[in-house]
Amino acid sequence: MNHPAPVEVTYKNMRFLITHNPTNAALNKFIEELKKHPCSQLPFDGGVLPSNQIVNDWVSLVKIKICEEPDCCIAVHCVAGLRRAPVLVAPALIEGGMKYENAVQFIRQKRCGAFNSKQLLYLEKYQPKMWLSFKDANVHRNNCRIQ
């Protein structure tokens, strides 16, 4: 399978790195990098939508990490980096004030082929529960934290 390159999605004080699972050749390097950073797992099956609990946990994680480390970049991965990872990043963008249509377009500009029809319908109906807002939208160092 030919995987697209990882892409960074930045909006306000939020930075995400959307990527795919590592290949067997890159697995050792990937594991070594993970060991350097605290990690959280919010797994859900491919082809299904994330549960409300997963999305709530995800948005809470984003808020906590960005408040603790305003310059962090949160890595999100799935098998190809086209379905599950983008469908988690989009609600964070929506919670940050972006309209769903803009969030979908914004992610698709960087990750061509992102989202399936079920995910698009889910995002269209997504109702933000809390707005992610941060003090300084311009402070970022080139420091990417894998979560």
For the chain, the structural domain boundaries read: 7-135
Question: How many angstroms separate the Cα of 93 from the Cα of each of 7, 16, 30, 105?
Answer: 15, 10, 26, 11
**Size (the chain), residues:** 147
Report domain 7-135's class. Answer: alpha beta
Neighbouring residues of 11: CB distance < 8 A, sequence distance ≥ 6: 93, 96, 98, 106
Do residues 61 and 40 touch, judged by C-beta distance below 8 A?
A: yes
Task: Check pLDDT > 70 for residue 62.
Answer: yes
- Output the pLDDT for position 102: 96
Contacting residues for 53 by C-beta, under 8 A, at least 6 apart: none
Over residues 101-146, the pLDDT tens digits come to 999 999 999 887 788 899 999 999 998 876 565 444 444 444 433 3
48's tokens: 């299904």
Phi, psi of 140 (to 5 degrees): -150, 135
Nearest to 18 by CA among 126, 105, 147: 147
User: What's residue 1's pLDDT?
Assistant: 52
Instruction: Label the pairing between strands 7-11 and 14-20.
Output: antiparallel
pLDDT given at position 143: 43
Per residue in 71-103, pLDDT (tens digit) is: 888 888 665 555 578 889 999 999 998 999 999
* Greater model confidence, 85 or 36: 85
* C-alpha count within 13 angstroms, C-beta hemisphere, residue 79: 6
At 140, the amino acid letter reads: H
pLDDT for position 124: 94
φ and ψ of 17, to 5 deg: -115, 110
Question: What is the strand order of the sheet 14-20 is part of?
Answer: 7-11, 14-20, 74-78, 145-146
